[in-house]
Amino acid sequence: MKLADKVVLITGAGSGIGRQTALLCAREGAHIAAVDIDETTAEQTAATITADNGQAIAIAADVSRAADCERMVQQAEAAYGRLDVLFNNAGISHHADADAIDTEEEVWDLTMAVNLKGVFLGCKYGIPALRRAGGGAIVNTASFVALLGAATPQLAYTASKGGVLALTRELAVVHARENIRVNALCPGPLCTELLMKYLDSEEKRQRRLVHIPMGRFGEAEEIARSVVFLASDDASFITGATFTVDGGITAAYVTSE
Give the pLDDT confidence of 150-178 residue by residue, as tens digits. Answer: 777 899 999 999 999 999 999 999 999 99
The residue that leads in pLDDT, 70 or 196, is 70
Q: How confident is the model at residue 194 (pLDDT cuts 50, 70, 90)?
A: low
The per-residue pLDDT for 167 is 98
pLDDT at 112 over 90: yes
pLDDT at 195 over 70: no
Residues 123, 130: Cα–Cα separation, whole Å: 10
Lowest-confidence pick of 2-11, 168-177, 204-213, 215-224 = 204-213
Q: Model pTM?
A: 0.94
**pLDDT-above-90 percentage for the chain:** 81
Helical H segments across the chain, by residue range: 16-27, 39-51, 66-80, 105-112, 118-132, 145-148, 155-174, 193-196, 202-209, 220-231, 249-253
* 125 a catalytic residue: no
Other C-beta atoms lying within 10 Å of the C-beta of residue 147: 19
Mean pLDDT over 47-59 rounds to 98
- CATH number for 7-245 (one of 3.40.50.720, 3.30.470.10, 3.30.530.20, 1.10.630.10): it is 3.40.50.720
Determine how β-strand 180-187 pairs with β-strand 55-60: unpaired
pLDDT at 125 over 90: yes
Residues 23, 162: Cα–Cα separation, whole Å: 28
Catalytic residue among 80, 125, 157, 198, which?
Answer: 157
